[in-house]
Structure 1
Amino acid sequence: MTDFAVGQRWLSENETELGLGIIQDVDYRLVTVYFPSNEDQRTYAKNNAPLCRVTFEAGDQIETIHGDILQVDSVQPLNDILVYMSKQTGNSTEIVPIPETQLSHHIELSKASDRLFSGQVDSVQWFELRYQAMLAKEQQERCEIHGLQGPRVDLIGHQLHIAAEVGNRHAPRVLLADEVGLGKTIEAGMIIHQQLLNHRAHRVLIIVPQHLVNQWFIEMIRRFNLHFSIFDQERVDSLTNLDDIAFEGEYDFEDIEIENPFLSEQLVLCSSDFFAQCDMKLLGQGEWDLLVIDEAHHLEWHPESPGEDYLRVEQLSRSIPGLLLLSATPEQLGQESHFARLKLLDPDRFHNLQSFIEEQQAYQPIAELVTELNDKAVWDDSLKAQIATHIDDLAISEENREDILKELLDRNGTGRVLYRNTRKNIKGFPQRKVFAHPLASCAEYQPDSSDSQEATVNQLLHPETQERNESWTQFDPRVEWLKDFLKSNLNEKILIICAHKDTAIALDLHCRFKLGINCCTFHEDMDIISRDRAAAHFADMEDGAQALFCSEIGSEGRNFQFSHKLVLMDLPANPDLLEQRIGRLDRIGQKQDIEIHVPYMQQSAQEVIFNWYHQGMNAFEKTNAAGNAIFKKTQSQLFAAIIDFTDQTKQQALIEQTQAVTSDINKALESGRDKLLELASYNETTANQLIERVAERDCLTPQKFLESCWDRYGIQFEDHSLKSYIIQPGDHMFIGMFPGLPEDGITATYDRQIALSRDDMQFLSWEHPMVTGAIELVLSEEKGNASVCILKNKAIKAGTLLMEVLYDIECVAPRYLQAQRFLPYKMFRVLTDIKGNNLADKVSHENLSKQCHKIPKNASRQALKSESKSFRKMLELAEKKAQQQADKTLDSVVEKMQHMQAEELNRLISLRKKNPNIREEEIKFVKSQTQILEKYLRNTYLKLQAIRVIVAV
């Protein structure tokens, strides 16, 4: 039992925010403590009071209730009260007695050393958790694939290659132009994920076509755990509405400054329609770090008359460091338009259209040179001479092969600015097979007369929309065919897509309740959770649905590679939508050939559009990158043939015209292939290495670390199914809210393949917000930064004292400098004995922890008090050892930074020789940035994070 005395100063271990308490009353069973800073009082049982005595030693600084700061010279006991014989700070020699009753009520013991020497120590489990959090943070920030493991995506080589190349750049400005189906959205998401995770970006703006807003919103959440806010005019108005502001008196409303609505969120997603009419001044002042534009080929540009949307993007991109443009066919609007997109990315590099055209024509010799120097292990004098004509600021030798390749691509091609992969170069795609199912026409369908050609076409292509209820399911021949098809494929997963949600709902109800088929539906009126459940029910290979009925939204943002049978109950007029539909199954990772089943009524508009797709452009069995361009050139003929679907002459003319247009466009796209670009876009060896590294990292799951966190913080978790778990807030949580854990809990897995097949489960990798949040939670609190334990090892003499000390360094610099590129988080561990020897290399933390055991708090405080001078000396020696390590690290970091900055400076100087528009100010900026970075890096200090005192017994 601890001896308490009135007037002593004690600290509550459970409520440190109460400040320094003073003992008011003590009896045989209870002790009463008053906390002046909060004017609060607590009464505890003497034998288990959660209190620790606060005492100071000679050399410590103390603060009085009057705010005076003094240094303790000696400590004298007086009737159970401590009197601190202190001096004024400075050169004063006058001794001032300060009884502990006169100490300031506000005390901060967050520093590990303060908590240790005041006896406020935690269990060895808390110290262990802190060590694991520091180790995890260091390993993540220094991992070569940091940012690539976390996304819920298949490990696909070309996607990982592009993400690794672009995501680690400072302010990347690139055009992602992979062919349809190769995953540009995933590549962009992986780049955004890396930029945010590595602190290279904090504010991101994504602009996409209106019909893709929902897809991007879902993809960012489901695959990358990025919660974007959708902005439209209604939301902006709600954030800037003066009617919601209370005013008193008279105001000149023109002088009222309203907060920029775009500053209210860090991650913003909006449609191109909204972007076309929003306030550009407000948007431009959004302090964005990264701008993403999908379907960038719609930004029209001509030298004399650039389009309004292009001018808006150009204006916005000037003030935003990073820019990602996405376009499957960047040249489909012509070479001028292609140049315009590159000009948005790098106006210094692509400054003149005529120069760009001439450079395009000169690509082939450069491509041959790059191929040769890449393939030859040894370069002869002739090859070196050729290289020297293009590179004049690097030593021409095989040792600089990587740098020379990078510079050749950067200076002579569109590599590093533009990435394009095609299915010809990427392996792993399945074959597509289309199965036509012509059915008898249906006399019950009689289209209404319409003033709009487009409305008439829609009625003819989707005749069931004429009906006011589900009665059409009783006579539509496609329904009877579907019944037979489902019953003949009972063991198959079948994805069924319709244009309209009412069609999908009607078919789902009919098949479930009238045919007894296990199926479910998926449409735009369902919330995200309901969609996830439907997708998960379909993905369940044992008890899940046989068929999933989707509206057109089913072709956006969801991939079902586990199925290989696709039924298209109707066909869209837009070829891009057809490609999106097929793309839900036609993905890398698909193990079987894809069967595309198309039931259609003969002698109807449905037959016309099927033949247009199949015979005209072969859109079912081959990917169709030029579909939108073909549609624009043949739209009038297509609509005329659909409306007059009995005219065979019109249909034949449509097919022939479509075949000719398809051939011409595909030839133009093929002739425009940039061989040099293909060399820069994909490196199979590098891609395979990335896949292996990510797969290895997947095996090192954060399960052990998370379960330790959950145990410490009172989170409940239990098995759900194989490698899957249910995580919920516990009844006695240590904190109010755990990072990434909603009130109703989550279901999660550490297995990538399970996460890919189960949309309702979260993928818990080291980069998941719950894991990164848990690391920051542990490191931001004082819990675990001071601990005492005993060591049981017969080989070590009883009474031996050891101290394990953890330090870190982290550069704090202005955000625009991106200092984390050069100095990520670093932990230093010192294990010192009483003589100051550093045993850290000889004794690992893991082996030491196995032999460490808990000690009662009273015993730990007695040990700290009796050996206080020894422990203070050991801590001082440990800091010197850690500082030596930190100095070496910082020297190498500065050297690395100077090298990388020199490379960027050389690039600008070299480009300036070709392009006089590069200003001297840009070169001066890089030089200045290097000097400022060096200053901040050299001013990075070692920080004490945790101490563990170890006493051998």
Structure 2
Amino acid sequence: MTDFIPGQRWLSESETELGLGIIKELDYRLVTVEYPAAEEERTYAKGNAPLSRVTFDAGDTIRTANDLELVVAEVNELNGLKVYMAHPVDDPEDIQPVPEINLGHTLKLNAALDRLLSNQLSSNRWFELRMAALEAHSQQQQSPIQGLRGPRIDLIGHQLYIADQVANRFAPRVLLADEVGLGKTIEAGLILHQQLLTGRASRVLVVVPSPLVHQWFVEMVRRFNLHFSIFDRERLNALQPEDNIKDMLADIIAEEKGEAPAQKDNPFLSEQLVLCSTDFLSECDIDQLAAADWDLMVVDEAHHLEWAPDAPSGDYQRVEAIARQARGLLLLTATPEQLGLESHYARLRLLDPDRYPSLAAFREEQAQYQHIATLAGQLHDQPNWDDALKAETAALLPEMTIEESQREAILKELLDRSGPGRVMFRNSRHNIAGFPARHVHGVPLALPADYDYGDDEGLDSHLHPETLYHDDRWCSLDPRVSWLEQFFKQHRHEKVLVICASRHTATDLHAHCNYKLGMNVAMFHEDMDLIERDRAAAFFADEVDGAQALICSEIGSEGRNFQFAHHLVLLDLPLNPDLLEQRIGRLDRIGQTEDIQIHVPHFQQHAQGVLFAWYHQGMNAFEHTNPAGHDIYLRTREALEDALAHPQDADKLATLVEQTRAITGELHTLLETGRDRLLELSSFNAARAEQLREQLDDADWHSPLPFMQRLFDRYGVDQEEHSDTAVIPKPGPHMRDAFPGLPEEGITMTDDRVTALARDDMQFLTWEHPMVTGGLEMVLGENRGKAAVSLLKNPKIKAGTLLIEAIYTIEAVAPKHLQVDRFLPTTVIRHLLDANGKDISRAISHDGLCQQCHKMDKALSRKIVASQKPLLETLLKNDEAQASQAAEAVIDDARQAMRAEQDHELARLKALQAKNPAVRDEEIAALQAQTDALEKVLAEARCQLNAVRVIVAGGE
């Protein structure tokens, strides 16, 4: 077993990009190494740690942590640690001790050359795979849409635009307030994915209402490959077992000594991505949760956090406690500010309490802002501006020329000065096109005698009478089921989504239709695991052999995309208007190709009939979206409950419908007149959105599948063809190691976005998929492919001719959150040397050379290297000096580009802050700190030989 001593410097053989490590902790079987350059730690088993001891000899040049370059004159050892006596290059008399712990954290390595000269050779194919991985890694780092390519989403402009605007900020604190159905969850997921992938965030907390926990978990996994850990009381108890007697005695002894009790581990630090409900916040230690160092907190349905100046709710206070300590905050709500200024202020106050210190000040600011918002709408909508409009605009912007030709610049200035787009984004169907029409078909039915329950049964039993049966006998007597049977027969070749509230209703109905009526239907409910649900959804989506209908419990309205279907059957109706909109939203989506037909079978003169009339006649909720639905429900609740309790009273129903119409009209008028045109303009930029769409469309054409198939072949992963657009990789009998993200049973994946959207059971293979990024890291983290010898077969080249293909990389070791790859991505430099050291790479491409290079016998390869060792070492060391010189120019360009971009953004934010206080001081300070850190990191960037191939011509 290797002798490790804290303070020694070691290098990870598998992750050299981490830089020079320091032995931090030891126990009898583990060693922990800190890598300061990358701000990361690794723990290894002592017996097989992939570590190499880094020491220097007299005459070597070392770099200290203070960036001093010194020449080693003498090496001493003290308690197992090296102490280098070294001097500046130009002053041999100035000898100074340098303990190895004070060495710099980056290291220039010649691992490829060392492996070549020591005959640690890989095959020709491994070398070529390594080159392909380097080029792919470099290309992905340079992508302008990094973070947006991986998610399984439709390319919808306003969602991409918001993600692009928000995710590129440091610790964003914004309110996502798009209208119901426009995809706030997708926008939040895109922001999370991009922040996590680019390193801007690593620890995320998502807080949602209890009914939405499962929906969020599924959405994050299925669409974004983000695996959150759900925290509830049971999980917390498992992480925090009751104090045992030993701990209690230790606390008593500490108290007697006047010492503080030992600090308990924070259970919320056990996972990086945590998902919990708002109810859970009242059950846990909120201070402990808030102290868990969150980079980003997401709160869904934020309008449910009730607040008043003198009496904020407990939920609000608990979220506020975490929000104060979290660096970033995303609040999601579909409730617009026009329906409650106080509630709107409460949400903005969570984002930035310093910016919004009091409700009174906010009311005054909003009154002034509304005038500007109205003016912006007129400037945008009117093709020709009259003198009055120009004069009004000139009063606000006296320094600008107010002409129609300057429309874009004037609107941008108004947005910068007054727009809330820095902290709030809201799109509505007014400014987003592409939604289908909705048509409702009410189906009134007679109530069967078996369902004529007495008044002693509760409202839920009247709305869902079948739930009083303990088996599927109700299906034979319920006229809704008879109607559904005829409906399936009439629409035999069309897909139908059926949603009902209860899991028991769904399972009974499925059994009756499937086994008793012989119909081809699938089932989907909350007691099925994720794989079973995906299979059911895929069976429904299959156009050839799939199910005609999918019968869902309420969970079917959560998060799934069934827009390939056009018929929706609601076997019952929920009391919550938002839930009804969620149900319809499974089909009512951008990209739906046909009008949506909504079918609602219900019993006449019954609570079901009252509910249908309330929704349809009162608020027109089936055929149009209803952003005010929750408020309508609250204001009509008393009349609704009265009518539901007396369904045969026509007067009560008429009163309910009339009251609901009046309130709906009032709230919709309020919404329309209160439309914030300035906010709409700042929330969506069609030109930028289209540019993002085009870039993502282009990225979809550059599939990682060919590269992954080469990777699968090299690592022993079997592949089966699934269809024209999908493959099934599985662990093969000769698989070398565990392959990242590959389960034992295999996985079905497609590189076609359309297929991925239609088939939830398939993974969407992109360059940002965890299996792809993990595969790239695996190839580049290994030594295989760093040195190779191959035989060149070309009759035009004389046998015995020696060529050297040298692959250099320019890299900067830095923490991920700095995103140094924006300016200096891993840059590949290829040289092809002849025996005289001349670079002929421009004449012969890598791909062209690979077609002529073939396997060479290992024994012969070693003989060639041994016989040519002095020449190889001389040529490569001279060439590395040339490559390093070329790299300096690349690094210098990167530093200039970094300074230009960072300085421009800093100046922009400072100028914007002078006009709009929504720009936070923390954002400016973070940008300045990032610039300083990038300057230091780029100054330490180095060029190194990453791979080398010796090529010997052998004739034809």
Q: TM-score range by the shorter chain?
A: 0.7 to 0.9
Question: Does the 8 Å contact 1:495/1:549 carry over to 2?
Answer: yes
Given candidates 549, 555, 558, the residue that maps to 2:557 is 555
- The SS at the match of 1:182 is coil
Aligned residue number for residue 543 of structure 1: 545
Q: Distance in 2 between matches of 1:599 and 1:118?
A: 79
CA shift at 1:869, angstroms?
A: 2.4
Pair 205,335 (structure 1): closer, same or farther in 2 beyond 3 Å: same
Residue 256 in structure 1 maps to residue 262 in structure 2: yes
- The SS at the match of 1:942 is strand
Aligned residue number for residue 935 of structure 2: 934
- The SS at the match of 2:559 is coil
Q: Distance in 1 between matches of 2:383 and 2:904?
A: 21
CA shift at 1:541, angstroms?
A: 1.2
Pair 375,143 (structure 1): closer, same or farther in 2 beyond 3 Å: farther
Aligned residue number for residue 773 of structure 1: 774
Residue 207 in structure 1 maps to residue 207 in structure 2: yes
Given candidates 357, 360, 369, the residue that maps to 2:366 is 357
CA shift at 1:915, angstroms?
A: 8.0
After superposition, where does 1:756-835 map in structure 2 within 5 Å?
756-814=757-815, 817-835=818-836
TM-score (norm. length: structure 2): 0.83
After superposition, where does 1:653-732 map in structure 2 within 5 Å?
653-732=655-734
Question: Does the 8 Å contact 2:110/2:945 carry over to 1?
Answer: no
Q: Give the paired residue count.
A: 853
Report the AA paired with residue 331 of structure 2.
Answer: L
Q: Distance in 2 between matches of 1:388 and 1:161?
A: 27
Question: Does the 8 Å contact 2:611/2:644 carry over to 1?
Answer: yes
Question: Does the 8 Å contact 1:608/1:651 carry over to 2?
Answer: yes
Given candidates 575, 578, 581, the residue that maps to 1:579 is 581
Question: Does the 8 Å contact 1:460/1:642 carry over to 2?
Answer: no
Deviations 1:539-567 (A, max 9, x none): 11111111111000111121111110110
CA shift at 1:215, angstroms?
A: 0.5
Q: Percent identity?
A: 53
Residue 856 in structure 1 maps to residue 862 in structure 2: no
Report the AA paired with residue 680 of structure 2.
Answer: E
Question: Does the 8 Å contact 1:116/1:786 carry over to 2?
Answer: yes
After superposition, where does 1:257-656 map in structure 2 within 5 Å?
257-331=263-337, 333-347=339-353, 349-351=355-357, 352-364=361-373, 367=376, 371=380, 389=398, 408-447=414-453, 449-450=455-456, 456-656=458-658
Question: Does the 8 Å contact 2:207/2:275 carry over to 1?
Answer: yes
Q: Which runs of 5+ in 1 are unaligned?
A: 1-37, 41-57, 62-68, 72-87, 93-107
Aligned residue number for residue 103 of structure 1: none
Q: Distance in 2 between matches of 1:501 and 1:605?
A: 21
Deviations 1:225-257 (A, max 9, x none): 111100112211210114579769755487232
Q: Distance in 2 between matches of 1:109 and 1:731?
A: 36
Question: Does the 8 Å contact 1:494/1:563 carry over to 2?
Answer: yes
Pair 907,144 (structure 1): closer, same or farther in 2 beyond 3 Å: closer
Q: Distance in 1 between matches of 2:904 and 2:831?
A: 36
Pair 673,197 (structure 1): closer, same or farther in 2 beyond 3 Å: same
Report the AA paired with residue 681 of structure 2.
Answer: L
Pair 474,212 (structure 1): closer, same or farther in 2 beyond 3 Å: same
When structure 1 is superposed on structure 2, of 601-610 and 305-314 the one drifting more is 305-314
Question: Does the 8 Å contact 2:499/2:583 carry over to 1?
Answer: yes
CA shift at 1:369, angstroms?
A: 9.5
Q: Distance in 1 between matches of 2:464 and 2:795?
A: 84
Pair 428,909 (structure 1): closer, same or farther in 2 beyond 3 Å: closer
Deviations 1:487-544 (A, max 9, x none): 1111111111111011111111111111111112111111111111111111111111
Aligned residue number for residue 893 of structure 1: 894
Question: Does the 8 Å contact 1:116/1:787 carry over to 2?
Answer: yes
Aligned residue number for residue 147 of structure 1: 147
Pair 371,934 (structure 1): closer, same or farther in 2 beyond 3 Å: farther
Pair 347,896 (structure 1): closer, same or farther in 2 beyond 3 Å: farther
Residue 158 in structure 1 maps to residue 158 in structure 2: yes
Question: Does the 8 Å contact 2:287/2:321 carry over to 1?
Answer: no
Q: Distance in 1 between matches of 2:808 and 2:409?
A: 36
Deviations 1:763-807 (A, max 9, x none): 111111111100000011111111112333344444443322223
Q: Which runs of 5+ in 2 are unaligned?
A: 1-45, 49-57, 62-70, 74-84, 93-107, 255-259
After superposition, where does 1:912-951 map in structure 2 within 5 Å?
913=914, 926-951=927-952
Report the AA paired with residue 432 of structure 2.
Answer: I
Deviations 1:585-633 (A, max 9, x none): 1111211111100101111111100000000000000011111111111
Q: Distance in 2 between matches of 1:257 and 1:643?
A: 56
- The SS at the match of 1:444 is helix
Pair 360,738 (structure 1): closer, same or farther in 2 beyond 3 Å: same
Q: Distance in 2 between matches of 1:920 and 1:575?
A: 41
Pair 301,544 (structure 1): closer, same or farther in 2 beyond 3 Å: same
Report the AA paired with residue 715 of structure 1.
Answer: V
Q: Distance in 1 between matches of 2:248 and 2:335?
A: 57
After superposition, where does 1:877-892 map in structure 2 within 5 Å?
877-892=878-893
When structure 1 is superposed on structure 2, of 665-674 and 235-244 the one drifting more is 235-244
Q: Distance in 2 between matches of 1:857 and 1:321?
A: 56
Q: Distance in 2 between matches of 1:919 and 1:426?
A: 30
Q: Distance in 2 between matches of 1:916 and 1:165?
A: 18
When structure 1 is superposed on structure 2, of 809-818 and 848-857 the one drifting more is 809-818
Report the AA paired with residue 580 of structure 2.
Answer: L
Given candidates 716, 733, 736, the residue that maps to 1:734 is 736
Question: Does the 8 Å contact 1:208/1:270 carry over to 2?
Answer: yes
Deviations 1:117-144 (A, max 9, x none): 1011111110111111111111112111
Q: Distance in 1 between matches of 2:170 and 2:813?
A: 17
Aligned residue number for residue 17 of structure 1: none
Report the AA paired with residue 521 of structure 1.
Answer: M
- The SS at the match of 1:571 is coil
Question: Does the 8 Å contact 1:301/1:337 carry over to 2?
Answer: yes
Deviations 1:66-107 (A, max 9, x none): xxx999xxxxxxxxxxxxxxxx99999xxxxxxxxxxxxxxx
CA shift at 1:884, angstroms?
A: 3.1
- The SS at the match of 1:414 is coil
Question: Does the 8 Å contact 1:739/1:773 carry over to 2?
Answer: yes
Deviations 1:263-307 (A, max 9, x none): 111111111111244322211222211111111122233444443
Report the AA paired with residue 475 of structure 2.
Answer: T
CA shift at 1:572, angstroms?
A: 0.5
Deviations 1:656-681 (A, max 9, x none): 11011111111122222211122222
Aligned residue number for residue 745 of structure 2: 744
Pair 340,880 (structure 1): closer, same or farther in 2 beyond 3 Å: farther
Aligned residue number for residue 12 of structure 2: none
Question: Does the 8 Å contact 1:838/1:881 carry over to 2?
Answer: no
Question: Does the 8 Å contact 1:831/1:878 carry over to 2?
Answer: no
After superposition, where does 1:12-31 map in structure 2 within 5 Å?
none
Question: Does the 8 Å contact 2:440/2:622 carry over to 1?
Answer: yes
Say which structure, 1 or 2, has more relative contact order (CA 8 Å, 6+ apart).
Answer: 2
Q: Distance in 2 between matches of 1:689 and 1:681?
A: 16
Deviations 1:654-707 (A, max 9, x none): 001101111111112222221112222222232223222212211211111111
Report the AA paired with residue 939 of structure 1.
Answer: E
CA shift at 1:843, angstroms?
A: 3.2
Q: What is the Cα-based RMSD across aligned positions, in Å?
A: 3.7
Question: Does the 8 Å contact 2:445/2:479 carry over to 1?
Answer: yes
